[in-house]
Structures are given as structure tokens and as C-alpha cells.
Structure 1
Amino acid sequence: MTRETVRTLKALRQTVRSIALGHRLSADDRARLVLSLSEVAASALGGGRPVTVLSGREKGEDGAHRLTLALRLPQQAAESQVSTDRLPLRARTQPDGTFVWDLPLPSGAAYGHGMPFTGRPPATAAQHGASDVALLEEELRAALARADTLADEHQRLKHELAETNSGVLALYVQLEERDEQLRTAHGRTLRALEDALRPRPLHVDGLELAVHYAPASDDAPTGGDLYDWFTLPDGTVHITVVDAIGHGITSTRTALTVTHAVRTLALEGHPLESIVARTDTVLAPFDQNVMATLLLARLDPADGTLTLANGSHPPALLAHADGGASYLEVRGRGIGFPLPGSDRVLTATMGEDDVLLLYTDGLTESRRDPIEGEARLKKALCRHRRGPTELIPGLLAEDLLSDVLHQDDTLAIAVRRTGVSRSPRSGR
């Protein structure tokens, strides 16, 4: 390994460049090497203390040659800490404070054809008239070329990123379109299912009927609120309103089971006061978990006779033609409750242009206060009673659900007695 002692930064840079040129290092590696040794030795040389540069060429086990360059500082400078991570070319430090750089050499590179280092620029540099300025320009060109390459690479990566972002955005648009198509198809299917669960429209002379239904969530457009209406053989209209415990498909199945059982019992001729209890008796052996509230109403369009039976359900509301309204209270316990059945049957009379409202608790308990909800519902029905019958249920829902604290399925049925004579006919 050759050794050279230098006393100035200029001499150090010339020495390092001479070594780098002799071993055919690239201009970029040469510049990094000169800058790194200069930064490490600057403090010592600036204080008038010489440093020693050692260089040698070794062959590794893989057959590749490498240049080992060492910088030995005077004792006082060696004790100072220099961060090798900040150097343009990282070095390793030895226990005695010597800084060592190892650089792979290009194939066939040999310093001075094996001749010892003299401290002067090698013949290859002299032959090309290389001066310090020329070498600096070459190193600067290498740095600029490296910067240009990095800039080009950065631009290419930006372009690729832009194309990737554009592709991702297009994919998002496609996924959103597909999701919208699926939502639309899902909605159509669920609306068709909901329509299939509804009884067929009922047209009875002397009556106008309208219904509004809204699920607690768009994700589950069916729920436990269900209704059924049909005409009995004697010409009276039977209406069932059911609110099964829970939400979604499971509660829909419960509500369907209850409405079908009630319809069967009603068509078999069982008296209204017994149907709630008998429905529980019929269903209990098949499903111990069935729980539902229900309200049963029968109305004779000819004379306006109205009878009601209740199983834990909110009371019916009757709005009169004179502008007043009253709740028709009947006590009872629902399906799956202890001692199920209606305590009695309430009988009332609907006059001409009176409006009967049957509903589920989602309409009155949206603010979790049923007393307040019933008061608001009563005022709203009196306000909308004179409007078209087919609009009344929706208008009531809009008024009462404008400020919702508790989402629930909602069902409202409006029945207006027009007083027109009718001929009995079946609703099925």
C-alpha cells in the first residue's frame, strides 16, 4: 500500500484525483471521493497538521479488484467525531481513527501498470493535458449528467404515476357505475318483494283506503310492519295491522305468519274478540319466539259501524268531519306476550267523511316519547284530514318523521268513509 503525507487541502485533492485517475474511477466516484476526504481532513489541515493518505489495490475472493483508500489523521483530529453518514461517499472507521473507503474498480483497471505511486499525476492525465480545472469540469459534468438522469427518472416516474392514477380513477368510476347498477337492481328486487308482500288493493263502495310504508333502513326495505285487508262475506271490511318484534327479513316472516293466521281465523267466522288469543294459540306450537303487536279493525261501509280489537298495539285514531279527533283505546296483549288477547271489543261509528288512521309505533315514537308522538299525530291528522285520502298517510309520515331520533319501520293506513252506497263484494 502506498503512502503520501499532505499538508494542504489543495495537495490532498490533487493526490486523491491522481489516485482515482490512475485506477480509472468514474468522474462521479472521483468527485465523491475528493469531497469526502476533503471534508474529513479539513479541520486538521486548516490547523496546520498534516494527514496521511494510503492507497492500495486488492483482489477479492470473487476475482474482482477494488481500491482501498485510507485517510489517517493526526491524534488530535482523530479524536474529533465525523459522521460518515453525511459524507458524499460513506467510509468505515478503524479503532485508531483512520477513515477507509473501498471502491470496486472497473475491469482491467491498473494503477501505473503496477508501478509505485509517486504523488504526481499519472501519465494518462498528462497525456490528455488534464489540469485541475479540466478535472473539475469533468466531475461537474458527471454531477450534472447524474442530476439530469435523476430528473429524467423523476419525470418518468411522475408520468407513470399520473397514468396509474388515471387508471385507478377510471377503475373507481367503473366500480361506482357497477355499484350503482347493483344498487338499482337490488332496489328493484326488494321493491318487487315488498309489493309481493302487500295485499292487493281493496276497492269498496263507500270507502277510500290509502297506505304508507317505510323501512327503518334502505339496507333492509322489508321489516316487521305489515298489514292485510279483505272483505268478509257479510260485506264488512277487515283490516289487520301487525308490528313484529325486530327488523329485517326475520321480522317480516313473523309478521306474515301472524297476518295469515288472522286472515284464516277471520274467514272461518271466529268472533273478533277471540282472534288475538286464538292466533297465539295456533302459532305457539310452531314457533315459541314469535312476538308481535296487532290491531284488528272491522268496518261496515253501509252504516259506519267500527269494531276494534287490540293486542299491545298503539290505538286507532279517528278524525271527525267536524275537525276533532280522538283515540280509540282498547287494552290487550299481543302474540307471544303473557296472557295474549284483547280485553274487549270497542265499538264506534264512523260518520260520513270521517277518517280512521291505523298505524305502527314507528310513526309516534320517532322521538322516543309516545305521548308527545300521539299528540303530534293527532294534530297532523286534523290538519291533513280534508286533503285527498291517498296523500294523508304520506303527509303524516313526513310531518312526524322530519326530526327523527330513533329509526323504525313505519306503517300508516288511512280509511275515509265517503257515505256512498255500496254492493258487497269480496276483496280476494
Structure 2
Amino acid sequence: MTTRNLTCATTAGLGRAVRALAREHALDPEVRGRLVLSAAEAAGAALRAGGQVGLEWAYDPDDGLLTVVLRTPGDMGPAVTELPMAPEVVTEDEVVWRLPAGPYVAGAAEDAPGEEALAAEELRAVVAAADALTAEHRRLKDELEETNSGVLALYVQLDERDKQLRTAHGQTLRELEDALRPPLIEADGLELAVHYEPAGTDAPTGGDLYDWFVLPDGTVHITIVDALGHGVTSTRSALNVTHAVRTLALEGHRLQSIVARTDEILHPFDRAVMATVLLARIHPATGELWLANGSHPPALLLRRDGTARYLEARGRGIGFPLPGSETPLTERLAPGDLLLLYTDGLTESRRDPIEGESRLIEAAHKHLQSPIEEVPGAIAEDMHTVILHPDDTLALAVRLTGQ
């Protein structure tokens, strides 16, 4: 590898020297033009101050690289990182370029056109490169616009498809909820209504379920279940509980024995089930009420005259230690009285069950005279103005009409 060097005192002389070495090593005119401009800018401050700069270059045939070194006595002027031809190495007094080039061609510089012709050739090369970039930019812009148009059309299609899927999904969820709801029963003297709201919109059901049916003697049986967890898994446990309770009730088992017996039945099949249970039986003709509880929030009785009382019945839920209920709590409803059965999602949305029970009495007072089908949903809406602890919510209202 042969190294050559020279000293330049003017910008024009430096430009001629760079063009000469570029011609000798067959650099592309665009690269040559960038190298001439870069050398002039890097050495400009030193040359204007009357100094001299050194130019050294060498060609390595092994890697086909031409190394050009510009040495200046002090300040290089403009930031060399912003030169038209980015250098590979920069020190306090050196700028180094390494460029792909051909081997030295003797006489190439002597046979070259004049400086003006070379500068024009370099300018044409730079303009051609700029035109090529402009054309490529225009092509990419057109492709981008076409792609964006296609993406927009695809987005519209996907949005429409998403709407269709949400509609179908919502229909499926409504059908699933309807399948889990027992049909509305008819019992002369009683009005019943229910409101259910899952904790999450992605899960149509949860562990809060209810069941109601009329026993052979005309008594209305109501089951409220709150199984541990959320989603379909807890729904399965709650369904197992309601089905077991219905079977035992229709077989004539005493109300106070059903919770414990349900635990015995389910334990071999679902050892993980844990659920609170509230059982209510109401005789429409007499207004007699019996309640059996398994670790569930108490029912709320709101008399027609506005007095309110929580009906505390003792017992332990399914899957709890020593499950079962004690002697049923008995009460007698009068025409116009409202009985509210619910799960803890109604009263614990603000993480304070005591405060929730107080607010529930206020909400029940507010809607005491409303049509029964509006009562559960309206109460739930009042209770859920602020939700700090989202949970499945079930509210079931019963009113004795006396007819």
C-alpha cells in the first residue's frame, strides 16, 4: 500500500488535489463532489486564516478502500459531523474518510477535463442523485397513499365485522343469561322482579344466581346463591347449588336442613365449591315468610309505612366449616311490604358493607312505591353511582299485594 501526500494553501488548490486523487482512483462523480465539498468545509477556517493543510491518501488493494486524511493546524470550523461526506474518524486535527475505490490509474488526473467541466460533472451527478431520491420519494408516497387507502378500507371492513361480532356476541350472551334465568312464576298475591349485572363486560355470567318456583302447597320458594369467583367457572358452581336446592325443596326437605344437605350432596363432585346461600319461602295468601341463611347478606324488609329492618338469620354457607342453617327466621308480610334479597355486590361496591346497608335502606325507601319491575334495577343504579370494588350484583324484589 503506497501512501502519498501534499500540502495545500488555498481552497482552490485543495479542491484540485482532491479531484485529482478521486480521478486517479475512479471515484464516482457524486462521491467525488461530496469529498471535494467536505474537504473544503473542513479546511476552510484554517485556509482563510492563512494556514496550510495537509492531504494524505493511500489505497489498500486487499479491501479496495481509499483512505483520505485531511490534517489541519487547529480549528476545523464547521461541525465535521455534518459534512456532505460523513467522515469515519475525527480527531482534533484530522478528518479521515475511507471510500470504496479502484486502484491507482496513472495519468488519469492529467487526462481529466478542466476544473469547471469536472465541477459540472459532479453537479450533474448530485442533481441526478437528488432527482432519483425525489422520484423514489414520490413513488414511496404514492405507495403509502395506496397502502393507507387499502388500510382504511380494511379498517372499515374490520370495524363493520367487529360490530357484527359484537352484535352476535351480545345476542349469545343474552341467550345464555336467559337460559340461566328461571321463568317468571305466577303467584297470586305476590309481585316479583330481578336485576342481574356481571362484574365484567367480558363475562356474561358470574357466581350470583337465583331460582324461584312454586311448591305443591302454593308456597313460593326463592334461592339466592353467591358462589366464590367470577365468570363461567363460578356460574357452574352456583348452578350446582341451585339445582341441588330445588331438588331437595321439591322432595319436601325442611327449609333449615337444605343448606347442610346441599353441601353433603355437592362435596363429592365439587370439592372447591364455596357459596353463600339465602333461602326464602313466602305464602302468598297469608304473607308468612321463612328465611334460612348460609353466610349470606341478610334480606331487607321495608314495610309499607317506611320502617325498615334487616332480617338476620344465622347459618354457614356451602363449602364453609360446619355448613348449615339454624332454625328459620319467621316473619309475616303485609300488603305493600317490600322484601329485597340481594348479593354483596349491591352493598359492598364502596368497600364498606355497613355504609352500603345504610344506603340500601335509603334507596329502597326511594323506590318503595315504584312498579315492581323497576325496583331492583333502580336500586342497583342508585347503589352503583360510585364503584370502588366491582362485583357481580343480584337484586331480587318481592312485594305482597294481598290480592
| Fold shared, TM-score > 0.5 on shorter chain | yes
Residue 12 of structure 2 corresponds to: 10
Give distance in 2, aligned partners of 1:304 and 1:403: 36
Residue 424 of structure 1 corresponds to: none
Pick closer, same or farther for the CA change 1:268–1:4 going to 2, 3 Å. closer
Letter in 2 for 1:342: S
Deviates more, 1:404-413 or 1:276-285: 276-285
Residue 343 of structure 2 corresponds to: 360
Structure 1, gaps ≥5 residues long: 421-428
1:227 Cα shift? 1.0
Report if the CA contact (8 A) 1:23-1:111 is conserved.
Answer: no
Determine whether 1:200 maps to 2:200.
no
Give distance in 2, aligned partners of 1:359 and 1:327: 12
1:52-201 maps to which residues of 2 (within 5 A)?
77=72, 88-89=84-85, 104=101, 112=107, 122=110, 125=113, 130=114, 132-201=115-184
Give distance in 2, aligned partners of 1:195 and 1:335: 25
1:229 Cα shift? 0.9
Determine whether 1:233 maps to 2:216.
yes
Residue 265 of structure 1 corresponds to: 248
1:278-289 maps to which residues of 2 (within 5 A)?
278-289=261-272
Residue 426 of structure 1 corresponds to: none
Structure 2, gaps ≥5 residues long: none
Residue 351 of structure 1 corresponds to: 334
1:286-297 maps to which residues of 2 (within 5 A)?
286-297=269-280
**Cα deviation digits, residues 124-177 of structure 1 (max 9, x gap):** 63xxxx5x4454344334333332332332333333333334434443443343
Structure 1 SS opposite 2:229: coil
Residue 423 of structure 1 corresponds to: none
Residue 239 of structure 2 corresponds to: 256
Structure 2 SS opposite 1:211: strand
Give distance in 1, aligned partners of 2:39 and 2:269: 92
Residue 425 of structure 1 corresponds to: none
Residue 223 of structure 1 corresponds to: 206
Residue 393 of structure 2 corresponds to: 410
Residue 282 of structure 2 corresponds to: 299
Give distance in 2, aligned partners of 1:199 and 1:35: 87
Letter in 1 for 2:350: R
Give distance in 1, aligned partners of 2:328 and 2:153: 65
Report if the CA contact (8 A) 2:25-2:101 is conserved.
Answer: no
Report if the CA contact (8 A) 2:39-2:70 is conserved.
Answer: no
Report if the CA contact (8 A) 2:87-2:95 is conserved.
Answer: no
1:4 Cα shift? 7.0
Structure 1 SS opposite 2:234: helix
Letter in 2 for 1:217: G
1:190 Cα shift? 2.2
Letter in 2 for 1:355: L
Indicate which of 343, 349, 364 corresponds to 1:381.
Answer: 364
1:181 Cα shift? 2.9
Give distance in 2, aligned partners of 1:100 and 1:275: 92
Give distance in 2, aligned partners of 1:224 and 1:261: 15
Pick closer, same or farther for the CA change 1:319–1:138 going to 2, 3 Å. same
Pick closer, same or farther for the CA change 1:245–1:30 going to 2, 3 Å. closer
Structure 2 SS opposite 1:357: strand
Give distance in 2, aligned partners of 1:135 and 1:28: 11
Give distance in 1, aligned partners of 2:347 and 2:313: 17
Give distance in 2, aligned partners of 1:44 and 1:302: 112
Give distance in 1, aligned partners of 2:183 and 2:320: 30
Give distance in 2, aligned partners of 1:100 and 1:335: 82
Letter in 2 for 1:264: T
Give distance in 1, aligned partners of 2:318 and 2:70: 97
Pick closer, same or farther for the CA change 1:344–1:39 going to 2, 3 Å. same
Report if the CA contact (8 A) 2:214-2:220 is conserved.
Answer: yes
1:241 Cα shift? 1.0
Pick closer, same or farther for the CA change 1:339–1:144 going to 2, 3 Å. same
Determine whether 1:391 maps to 2:389.
no
Residue 313 of structure 2 corresponds to: 330
Report if the CA contact (8 A) 1:27-1:138 is conserved.
Answer: yes
Q: TM-score, normalised by structure 1?
A: 0.79
Pick closer, same or farther for the CA change 1:45–1:204 going to 2, 3 Å. closer
Residue 33 of structure 2 corresponds to: 31
Structure 2 SS opposite 1:34: helix
Deviates more, 1:262-271 or 1:314-323: 314-323
1:72 Cα shift? 8.1
Give distance in 2, aligned partners of 1:290 and 1:232: 27
Letter in 2 for 1:178: R
Report if the CA contact (8 A) 1:360-1:411 is conserved.
Answer: yes
1:372 Cα shift? 1.5
Structure 2 SS opposite 1:196: helix
Deviates more, 1:4-13 or 1:181-190: 4-13
Pick closer, same or farther for the CA change 1:140–1:339 going to 2, 3 Å. same
Indicate which of 333, 341, 363 corresponds to 2:324.
Answer: 341
Structure 2 SS opposite 1:374: helix
Letter in 2 for 1:331: R
Alignment coverage as a number of residue pairs:
399
Letter in 1 for 2:132: T
1:395 Cα shift? 0.6
CA RMSD across the alignment:
3.7
Identity among equivalent pairs (%): 58
Q: TM-score, normalised by structure 2?
A: 0.83
1:18 Cα shift? 5.4
1:103 Cα shift? 5.5
